[in-house]
Amino acid sequence: MADWTAASGNETWYGNATSPTSDTSLRDLAAGYDADLLTFWLYHICAPVVVALGLVGNTLNLAVLWCSKDLVFVPYVYLRALAIADFCAMPVYSAYLFFALSPTASERVPAVALYLAHAHMPIFNSLMGASSLLVMAVTLDRWWAICHPLRALSWRTPRVVAAASAGLFAAAFLIHVPECFQYRVVALGGVGGANTTLYVLQWNHELHESVWYGVVWPWCEAIVCRVLPVVCVIVLNPLILRAFRAGLRNRKTLSPTISARKERRERAEQRHLAALLTMLSATFVVCTVPMTTLTLVDRMVPQERRERFAFYPGLSHVANIVELVNVSVNFYLYSVSNTNFRKACLSVFAPWCRPLRGFARRPTFTSSDRRSGSMVSHVSVSRTDTTARGRQSVVAASLRQKAVADGGAPPLAIESYC
């Protein structure tokens, strides 16, 4: 997550800052947004829209992946875990936007200030790190399954994948534990009135002056949660696509020994899954490379040199929103790129539409043949029900005979719905 730094003062708001710069409150931070047009558009307009799309999309994504009985392949187990991480990240970021853009609550309520100082950044960054690690895991799984299929048989089971996903969540949370201590809450009395107390976040000087927190931990976090997933996705996806195409060519030569229908079904499923994972990987790279690059710049370039470039804070804000897009659009990507996912959506949400379909298809009954004085009902008959068709033809013939015997014309409104 990008740093939100006040335009004036000596204190940096939460983020990956490396050195302190005086105490400032969230009120000063929010006032700075109105002065900066780019930041105003990003955090007042774009971020709420992205969060709203993410809340809707991740809710639907979690429902489909969790409830559908058709998405049973091993990669979908990783995608379920990815949906959990993305879904949980949205409410956390929503709270971040609410308290940052409306700072009164955080300044006057000590519990909110404690949450922002010690819990918010570790939780959100852990979820983002878990999301990146899960994308890396599903890429490694596909590479292992396509390039080394025989070796992967014993390891690619739902139980092993579920355990690996839980381990990635635990690793992401553990590596962000030090962020719980980078700020502390300070109570300032007599501000704006004799009985007013404001609670502001202050930089933890003792912690940041240590070599372990100032040098070792930032590099470990950047490599594990940012650099390693991006490198794995960029390097392994071309290998996966090349091996996948070679496998399709080889399977065509073996098709005489396999059922043609089964072969077509398996190849279609593999193509759909490959398209889904390719779209997921491409979006991940596009959305995370900017923030990964800026994170490496933060680690390698001193803050004094970064502050010389006026456009650097704006780049951080843009990269922050672009990275948020990565965890908001997965449902829409799956729906566009994978036919089986669309079918699973229909199978999950179709029961909610059955009452409406039943009402629309309810048979209607009409009367006709006023000349003969008889009432003939039009009844819908299924095309596959041959017994009903035969019965209807017998009834129509008997009605014609009866009308002729009575000296009238044959009924004109006898129709057959077959």
pLDDT in tens, 175-228: 999 998 888 888 887 665 556 778 888 888 888 788 788 788 989 999 999 999
Residue 337 and residue 390 in one domain: no
Q: Are strands 183-189 and 197-203 parallel, antiparallel or unpaired?
A: antiparallel
**pLDDT tens-digit profile, the chain (418 residues):** 543 333 333 333 333 333 333 334 444 444 444 446 887 888 888 999 999 999 999 999 999 998 888 787 788 899 999 999 999 999 999 988 888 777 676 677 788 888 888 889 999 999 999 999 999 999 998 888 888 877 777 788 888 899 999 999 999 999 999 998 888 888 887 665 556 778 888 888 888 788 788 788 989 999 999 999 999 999 999 988 888 877 767 766 655 555 566 666 667 777 878 888 888 999 999 999 999 999 998 888 887 787 777 778 888 889 999 999 999 999 999 988 888 888 888 888 877 765 544 444 444 434 444 443 443 333 333 434 444 455 555 555 665 555 545 554 444 443 333 3
Shared domain check, 386 and 325: no
Q: Is the domain of 182 the same as that of 273?
A: yes
Q: What is the pLDDT of residues 31-83, one digit of tens each?
A: 444 446 887 888 888 999 999 999 999 999 999 998 888 787 788 899 999 99
Cβ atoms of 237 and 136 within 8 Å: the answer is no
Q: Is the pTM of this model over 0.85?
A: no
Q: 180 in a domain, yes or no?
A: yes
Residue 13 counted as domain residue = no
Provide the number of structural domains found in the chain. 2
Same domain? For 145 and 224 the reply is yes
56 and 147 share one domain: yes
Q: What is the model's pLDDT at position 36? A: 64
- What per-residue confidence (pLDDT) applies to 340? 84
- The reply to whether 57 and 161 lie within a common domain is yes
Long-range contacts of 342-348 (CB under 8 A, 24+ apart): 343/70, 344/64, 344/68, 344/70, 344/71, 345/60, 345/64, 345/68, 347/68, 347/69, 347/70, 348/63, 348/64, 348/67, 348/68
Whether residue 12 is contained in a domain is answered as no
Q: Are residues 189 and 255 in the same domain?
A: yes
**Residue-range definition of the domain harbouring residue 394:** 363-405
Does 110 fall in a domain?
Answer: yes
Residues 336 and 373 in one domain: no
Determine, yes or no, domain membership for 410.
no
Is the domain of 263 the same as that of 382? Answer: no
Q: Is residue 248 assigned to a domain?
A: yes
Quick one: the chain helix, strand, coil %, rounded to 5? 70, 5, 25
| Residue in this structure with the two tokens 């990635």, named with its chain if needed | 168
Q: CATH no. for residue 33?
A: 1.20.1070.10
